[in-house]
Structure 1
Amino acid sequence: MPATLPRLAALVRLLLQLRMLLCAMALLLIPADRITNGTLVLVVAVALLSGLAARNWERFVPYLRSHPILSVLDILGTGAILVLDGPSGPAFLTTLISSAVAGILFEWRHAALVALFQVFSYACALLGYAAVSGPDASIEVLTYQALIVHPALYAITAYLGVFLRRVLTELASEQVARRSAERAAAAAEERERLARDMHDSVAKTLRGTAMAAQALPLWLKKDPERAEAVAKQIVAASDAAAAQARELISDLRDHEDDADIPFAQALGGIVGEWSKESGIEAHVSGEPASATEPRHEARQEALAILKEALTNVERHSGAAAVDVTVETSQGDGTPATYSVVVTDDGLGFQTPPEELLRAERTGNGHYGLLGMVERAERVGGSLVFESPEEGGTTVRLVVPASTVHDRSPAPQASA
């Protein structure tokens, strides 16, 4: 119910505003010879109270739910108008709001009690009008409309209020369930992303540290100087793993890159820095459209895939040079795309990439290629590995792009 209350309160506010309008219409439609001071005062009072309640609906609605006696007072007040104006006058429509509000705010049992009390109040008003007006009454009370239709309208409007309440409650429940599912999906996606990032950084560093630690006892026996060097390497690798873990934690807190930097410029910076650290010649080429950029999430994942591809080149390929090509494309009626192609002159895959991916999908304990593919697929892109028999490897990434404005021209960088 707490999730539904704001919607119900907003609907009650609308009905109270409608009552104000109906009161104004009643004053205009009641014949001048039937308007008395009492009728004028009562109609204006109901309009003002409805306006005040609508203005302060955020406080009024919870208070009305906690004090149903206010509904009884409201029914008595509007019933008094019928005593003066008659059961079939324009003011009758203002009394229907009470049963509708009761149906919206209360359970159907309480709404039924309110409707029954309103029918009783209407019958009393009918008798009161007949007694006050006497034989000179301008409105006939012994009619099918006055005796059957009007009382039935109270039950109908109460039912409509209950029905609207039920619809809004179901809608709120569905929205809560959807939000819970979205949170669960986001948490699962974040776990998958963290698993990929852990594999791309900390896991590889720790794996190398573990291998060095395993060999340390042997070097202590055979070559103490080499053992000392290996120990230093383990310390350095441990520090690197700690730094990578801190970077991952920081990334979890703020998983945003600098969106003001054009993608090609960010890519060129990553390639240039990698080339200096690895000692492998790297060149960035291509002429992407300056007004086209990968979409926000696609940009993040594309840069992560690029880093992983370059890391694989350094560790496994034995390449002497790497070419990175960036391109954009948009055909007639087709969405814009941004492609990044990484080509090296190394040894290539000893096992076909398709078989490696199949093995990783079945759970062989490795996630390198699979993590890259999942990153691309997560943002609606694609990633293809090509390794011809003559050697070398090509990683071809395509991600969705969008048109932007005020972007600096894409740079051409080489290292």
Structure 2
Amino acid sequence: MSAVISEGERDEFTRRLIGICMLVRLVAILVAFAGLAGQILTPALLLCALVQSVTGLALLMSARVGAFVANHPLAFVADVLISLGVVAVLGTESPLVLATMSTAIVTGFLFTRPVAATCAVVLVAGHLLVSALRYPVGAGFMTTIGVPAIYVGLVAIGGASRHAHAAQVESGRDAAAALLAAAAADERARLAREMHDSLGKTLHGVALGADALPQLVENDPAAARDYAADLARGAGRAAREARQILVRLRADQPDRPLADVLRGRCDAWQEETGVPCTLHVDGAVDLPTDARYEVLAIVAEAMENARRHAEPRSVVVRLAGAAGGAVEISVTDDGKGFVPDPDGRSPYGRFGLTGMAERAAEAGISLVIRSAPAQGTTVAVRSPAVHLGDAVVRTPDE
């Protein structure tokens, strides 16, 4: 899955790059002083070293200063002026000129191409001007060509880093948009399946009955009254199914951990029924959005069956990681129990178990129903190894 880079992450990247460059500056100052060993340290040299060290440490150690520069790049023009001042005071052959190199790469990264190019021209022109004034004759290759070329090259490297990072940010936004579009498509497909499997069939039956009702009213008014009552019950069932679909869609909450959603389901069920419902969680596990929706629907159906038919004294929901990265979820009640059909079909006139089996098949997970008269019922689902992003969900023992 592609990483999505936020504005905050972009600013953090900028602060880190500035910090690295300032660390290089401090190392360059130490190297310069090592090269000056045995020479007289003038007040101007010490002042320039102090100013460069202070600015470098401020940008490296203070998150507030780094954040300010990241959000207000033009503030870094002050550092460009400091670098020019160091060159003007100490000359172009001073070892401390090495410390001004960090300014060039940060300039290329922070500023747009026109501004960065202007800063590069200012750095190079200032360097050449000082070199021409201080060393009109006999200036070395590095002084006249090497250092200015390094300035230009570092500004170009900073600009290339800027554009590469901008491209990464843009690709992250594209990835986020694609993920949102895919999630929206999944939600539409899931809603269509829900409408087809439950509400659509009920409404189709109501529509067929409504078509036949006028003829019954003319031919057999008594039968028409019974038929109209059946239609009313069908319409009521359709309304309940529509509400259930909306409740499931709203209760999924894919941005919340699965354990939190299950805990909310247990609390709501306990409040509604007055029967204790306990959630046990073993390990930090979750499911992909598509499988998660179907699993939550199976859990809801198992709890609803317990409420309607089992007369339990308590219900226990378990969420746990299993060997190999699998995820297991079970709903266990201590109610009346029943004899499950070997093929997993619902009893005549009911559709809960059949619907759970269809959902499990749709999500690619296994479904096991264990029950016996007077021994309660357990509905358990098991998902294969789950990959969330680049990480595999594992149990605490793995």
Deviates further, 175-184 or 11-20: 11-20
Across the aligned residues of Structure 1 and Structure 2, the Cα RMSD in angstroms comes to: 4.6
Between 28-37 and 166-175, report the one with greater CA deviation: 28-37
Q: What SS class does the counterpart of residue 211 from structure 2 fall into?
A: helix
> Which of 14, 37, 40 does residue 31 from structure 1 map onto?
37
Q: Secondary structure at the match of 1:230?
A: helix
Q: d(CA) in 2 for partners of 1:261 and 1:59?
A: 40
SS at match of 2:139: coil
Q: CA deviation at 1:261?
A: 11
Q: Give the paired residue count.
A: 319
Residues 101, 2 of structure 1: CA spacing in aligned structure 2 closer, same or farther, 3 A cutoff?
A: farther
Alignment-derived partner of residue 89 in structure 1:
94
Give me the whole-angstrom Cα distance separating, in 2, the residues matched to 1:168 and 1:344: 57
Asked if the contact 1:80/1:125 (under 8 Å) is kept, the reply is: no
1:201/1:244 contact within 8 Å kept: yes
> Hey, what's the Cα distance between the residues in 2 that align with 1:51 and 1:177?
37
Give, in angstroms, the shift of residue 182 of structure 1: 0.9
Contact 1:82 1:129 in 2 (8 A): no
How many angstroms does 1:8 deviate by? 3.7
Equivalent position to 1:216, from 208, 213, 218: 213
Task: Give the conservation status (yes or no) of the 8 Å contact 1:335–1:400.
Answer: yes
SS in 2 for 1:33: coil
* One-letter amino acid of the counterpart of residue 301, structure 1: E
Report the counterpart of residue 50 of structure 1 in structure 2. Answer: 56
1:301 maps to: 294
Deviates more, 1:31-40 or 1:114-123: 31-40
1:113-262 maps to which residues of 2 (within 5 A)? Answer: 113-127=118-132, 129-130=134-135, 142-255=139-252, 259=259
Q: 1:146 to 1:239 in 2, by over 3 A?
A: same
Distance 1:382 1:212, change over 3 A: same
Structure 2 residue matching 1:296: 3-state secondary structure? coil
The structure number with the bigger radius of gyration is: 1
Q: CA separation of 1:404/1:74 partners in 2, compared to 1, >3 Å: closer, same or farther?
A: closer
CA distance in 2, matches of 1:175, 1:258: 26
Task: Please report how far the alpha carbon of residue 122 of structure 1 lies from its aligned counterpart in structure 2 after TM superposition.
Answer: 1.0
Using structure 2 for the length normalisation, give the TM-score.
0.63
Q: TM-score, normalised by structure 1?
A: 0.61
Q: What are the ranges of 5 or more consecutive residues in structure 2 without an aligned counterpart?
A: 270-280, 302-321, 331-339, 346-353, 368-380, 386-392
Task: Return the structure number with greater relative CO, CA threshold 8 A, min gap 6.
Answer: 1
Amino acid at match of 1:205: T
- Percent identity over paired residues: 26
Q: Deviations over 1:152-190 (max 9, x none)?
A: 101110111111112111111111111111111111011
Post-superposition shift, 1:100? 1.2
Segments of structure 1 that go 5 or more residues without pairing to the other structure are 132-139, 270-289, 309-329, 347-368, 384-396, 407-415
Instruction: Identify the residue that residue 80 of structure 2 maps to in structure 1.
Output: 75
Instruction: Quote the Cα distance in structure 2 between the aligned partners of 1:33 and 1:293.
Output: 63
> CA 1:18/1:234 → structure 2, altered by over 3 Å: closer, same or farther?
farther
Q: Deviations over 1:313-347 (max 9, x none)?
A: xxxxxxxxxxxxxxxxx99xx7759899974498x
Structure-2 change in CA distance of 1:46 and 1:177 (3 Å): same
CA distance change for structure 1 residues 301 and 219 in 2, over 3 Å: closer, same or farther?
same
